[in-house]
DNA sequence: ATACTTTGTGTAATCGATTACATTTATCAT
DNA sequence: ATGATAAATGTAATCGATTACACAAAGTAT
């Protein structure tokens, strides 16, 4: 911080009132007579006063900040969500801290520490793979009700969350391929222990069953949402004797990795094999070929998660019942050029 | 924050010492006798004490936090830089806040406010287009020496910065194309008022001059680093009567947008036209075709910027002389498949 | 006119850690 | 043995805002 001279006392002196009055002008202006209020605001402007957040936090035990925990900032998927969160939180004077799960491990700082150091009031977690250890620490410290999950969530808990309709998304994807005449449909999943992986795989299986499509174990390929895992999946597909004619990828990045390698190996997308992704990041429209995918409304995921968190940490809110039901955000099929008639 | 009961006083009581001693155990352990120190640490462990950052900040006027200002979180280019910054700052107990210039405009919160609210000790700015207005406010408040620029910088000031060798990068790009036999080389620039735009264009022009390559005004196409501007550049190129055989793009994203549209219009990359980018984001290796580009050492940019900032805001550091010389990070040509013999 | 609210403002305690200054004890040179 | 110096610790003021409580003035009911 920097040496700053003007304290609340200076404003009080300037306005000819007590510090209490100045403080009230800022936090509960209704309590003041109009003339006094105007007077105080004039003094604030005149002195260029700014409240010292550290002092306020110390006294009120409210940090006025929220932490967003992102699994991987390098994945452009998250940016819009962050924008959504900021948009919702920005007008209140809540600041948004962003941390990356991957980096965090390195720092050795535990997550509860953010709370215990009174640096944040709440957390939006975009990583459902939060170690049980961390979660337990939250519960131990009575902090479990200050966390909201977005996109991902933790299974078998009733922590509040906002999610895309992943099952529906997967079903849309499969149905789209089906309608193009594809019957042999493969799926590159996310990482084994991820909730999105389960949901999307389940949606895929449901729809495949409903449409009575053939199933082969090798057509379910394990990935991890990354470009690299798309590459590996492509290698596997190329090796298959009974190749699928279409692949539903659990993320756009996987789809890119997949298409990149398929093409490098002489398979054409979509002529030889159709590919569909999940997420609809900006780049999907600019890939070659442009990627058919399931769009998640990332901005909505962000704003809703922020709203939900505000509800949770707002002390006068009592509606904790409905929080346990996840908020579901609709997805949408975006048809581009990576899918074609079988 | 949450109700937390254990204060420094409790630790002091438990250890049978004064609060001053406990405080010293944490901040200046050398001042204590070894036995006392051990004793205090034992009490800290026993009570589960954690220092209250708000109180510490209030007293010391040090926030223990740094803000990183990113022009656009949606651009995956920035993630590695952030990781570098975190890596450097993580071991000290400095937390890293991340804000997006675009979002920031919406919140209406001025940048100096972060400082004046004593929320941060310093700032790493990845956006050279910081409004003059903001800069002036920094100067007015004596905060100009708490800012470090990384990647981008502000022209005509001596604010400290860490940058890639952009001129050299552009020259490498042009030389690479030249060596492949290309003579008609176009360049898609960044936005008009951007320092990187200038540096890369200049490097391009220098090398083009040195190699005595033909020059046409229309071969310098204005872009803005975005995917969309790559698309627009492609449209322009397609319309040209005298088409270049190679295009040097000011960013990888532009290159993607460009290749996407060229391909859609029936031009093949690299057979009909070679494309080279700048940045080397993860996706570049997974595009179709994989992108030849100039790699910036993003992690190094991050760590060095963080180091530089620490130097600047460290009160006992006096070496302010050398800060004015920008730190230059080497770049590297990465040859992939988007460039080929003319 | 009296008692009782309501409204508006001030006084001073408080949040929790740091640190200037004071004090005690140990060490050392003469 | 004595005064001087160093080492270790304690006392209490302080950072700046909030707010419980107190109180005065004005309004209201009877």
Q: What is the 3-state secondary structure (H, E, C) of A303-329?
A: HHHHHHHHHHHCCCCCCCCHHHCCEEE
Two structure tokens written together for B159: 């604010």
Is residue A175 in a domain? yes
The CATH number for A23's domain is 1.10.260
Q: What are phi and psi of A258, to 5 degrees?
A: -65, -50
Alpha helix segments (H runs only) across A53-165: 53-60, 77-90, 101-107, 111-116, 132-140
Looking across all nucleic acid strands, the nucleotide with the smallest C1' to CA distance from residue B33 is D8
Using the predicted structure, report yes or no on whether residue B107 has a pLDDT greater than 90. Answer: no
Q: How far is CA B285 from CA A50, A228, A256, B44, B280, in A?
A: 49, 10, 10, 50, 8
Name every chain B residue with its beta carbon within 8 A of the beta carbon of A82.
73, 100, 103
CA→C1' distance for B73 and D25 (Å): 57
Decide if A3 is inside a domain.
no
Residue B191 has pLDDT above 60, yes or no: yes
- What's the pLDDT at B194? 93
Alpha carbon dihedral A198, A204, A209, A211, in 10-degree steps, equals: 170
Search chain B and give the residue with CA nearest A61: B1
Low-confidence ranges of chain A (pLDDT < 70): 1-4, 103-109, 118, 315-322
The answer to whether residue B59 is domain-embedded is: no
When pLDDT is cut at 50, 70 and 90, the band that residue B3 belongs to is very low
Instruction: Please state the domain count of chain A.
Output: 3
Q: B74 to chain A: nearest residue by CA?
A: A79
> Residue B89 pLDDT more than 90?
no
Whose tokens are 């204060």? That residue is: B7
B109/B178 same-domain check: no
Same domain for B47 and B133, yes or no, is: no
Distance, in Å, from the CA atom of B327 to the CA atom of B308, rounded to the nearest integer, reads 9
Note whether B89 and B192 are same-domain residues: no
A–B CB contacts, 8 A cutoff, strictly below? 192
Both B196 and B236 in a single domain?
Answer: yes
Q: Can you give the pLDDT at residue B317?
A: 61
Residue A61 to residues B4, B118, B119, Cα–Cα distance (Å): 10, 16, 15
Evaluate whether residue A98 is within a structural domain: yes
User: What pLDDT sits at residue B266?
Assistant: 96
Q: How far is B55 from chain A (nearest CA, A)?
A: 6
Cα of B213 to nearest chain A Cα, Å: 31
Task: Say how far apart CA A2 and CA A6 lie, in whole Å.
Answer: 12
Q: Does B31 contact strand D, using a CB cutoff of 7 Å?
A: yes
What is the span of the domain harbouring residue A207?
166-297
Residue A179 lies in a domain: yes
- Please check whether residue A336 lies inside any domain of the structure: no
Do B176 and B278 share a domain, yes or no? Answer: yes
Question: Residue A103 domain-assigned?
Answer: yes
Which residues of B fall within a CB distance of 8 Å from A264? 288, 290
Let me know: does A51 contact A25? Beta carbons within 8 Å.
no
Pair B116, B73 in one domain: yes
Answer yes or no: do A159 and A170 share one domain.
no
Q: Which of A46-50, A138-142, B95-99, B271-275 has the highest mean pLDDT?
A: B271-275
> How do residues B115-125 score in pLDDT, each as one tens digit?
877 688 999 99
Show the tokens assigned to A42: 């004039």
Which CATH number goes with the domain that contains A319? Answer: 3.40.50.2300
Shared-domain flag, residues B160 and B195: no
How distant is C1' of D13 from CA of A43, in Å?
29
Residues in chain B with CB shorter than 8 Å from the CB of A76 are 74-76
- A112 and A181 both lie in a single domain: no
* B115 closest CB neighbour out of A2, A80, A90: A2
Q: What pLDDT sits at residue B1?
A: 38
At A132 the pLDDT is 84
Tokens of A116: 């215990």
Q: Which domain-ending residue is among A297, A313, A336?
A: A297
Considering the domain boundaries, does residue B103 fall inside one?
A: yes
Task: Report the residue of chain A nearest B253, measured CA to CA.
Answer: A283
Same domain, A257 and A192: yes
Q: How far apart are CA A147 and CA A67, in angstroms?
A: 10
Q: Which of B51-55, B143-147, B329-333 has the highest mean pLDDT?
A: B329-333
Determine if strand D comes within 7 Å of the CB of A307: no
> pTM value?
0.91
Residues B130, B39, single domain; the answer is no
Residue B99 to residue A96, Cβ atoms within 8 A: yes
Please name the residues in contact with B183: beta carbons below 8 A apart, sequence gap of 6 or more: B213, B214, B245, B342
Estimate in Å the CA A115 to C1' C16 gap, whole number: 16
Residue A2 and residue B146: Cβ atoms within 8 Å? yes
Name the residue in chain A with its Cα closest to that of B77: A74
pLDDT tens per residue across span A194-243: 999 999 999 999 999 999 999 999 999 999 999 999 999 999 999 999 99
Q: Which nucleotides of C are covered by protein (CB under 7 A)?
A: 7-12, 14-20
Strands B331-334 and B292-296: antiparallel
Instruction: State chain B's mean pLDDT as an integer.
Output: 91
Same domain, B219 and B102: no
């Amino acid at each position: 911080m920097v040496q700053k001279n003007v304290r609340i006392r200076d404003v009080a002196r300037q306005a000819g009132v007590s510090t209490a009055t100045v403080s009230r002008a800022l936090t509960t202006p209704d309590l003041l007579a109009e003339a006094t209020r105007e007077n105080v605001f004039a003094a604030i402007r005149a002195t260029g006063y700014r409240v010292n957040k550290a002092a306020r936090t110390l006294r009120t035990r409210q940090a006025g900040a929220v932490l967003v925990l992102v699994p991987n900032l390098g994945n452009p998927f998250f940016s819009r969500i962050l924008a959504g969160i900021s948009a919702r939180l920005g007008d209140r004077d809540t600041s948004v801290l962003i941390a990356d799960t991957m980096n965090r491990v390195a720092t050795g700082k535990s997550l509860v520490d953010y709370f215990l150091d009174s640096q944040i009031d709440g957390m939006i977690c975009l990583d459902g793979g939060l170690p049980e250890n961390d979660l337990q620490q939250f519960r131990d410290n009575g902090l479990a009700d200050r966390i909201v999950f977005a996109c991902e969530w933790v299974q078998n808990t009733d922590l509040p969350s906002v999610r895309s309709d992943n099952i529906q998304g997967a079903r849309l994807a499969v149905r789209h391929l089906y309608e193009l005449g594809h019957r042999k449909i493969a799926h590159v999943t996310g990482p084994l222990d991820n909730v999105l992986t389960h949901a999307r795989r389940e949606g895929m299986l449901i729809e495949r069953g409903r449409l009575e499509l053939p199933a082969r174990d090798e057509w379910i390929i394990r990935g991890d949402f990354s470009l690299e895992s798309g590459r590996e999946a492509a290698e596997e597909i190329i090796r298959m004797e009974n190749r699928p004619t279409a692949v539903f990828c659990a993320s756009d990045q996987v789809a890119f990795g997949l298409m990149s390698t398929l093409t490098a190996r002489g398979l054409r997308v979509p002529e030889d094999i159709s590919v569909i992704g999940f997420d609809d990041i900006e780049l999907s429209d600019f890939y070659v070929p442009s990627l058919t995918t399931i769009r998640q409304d990332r901005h909505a995921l962000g704003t809703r998660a922020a709203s939900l968190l505000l509800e949770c940490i707002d002390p006068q809110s009592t509606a904790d019942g409905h929080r346990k039901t996840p908020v579901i955000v609709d997805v949408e099929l975006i048809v581009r050029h990576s899918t074609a008639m079988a």
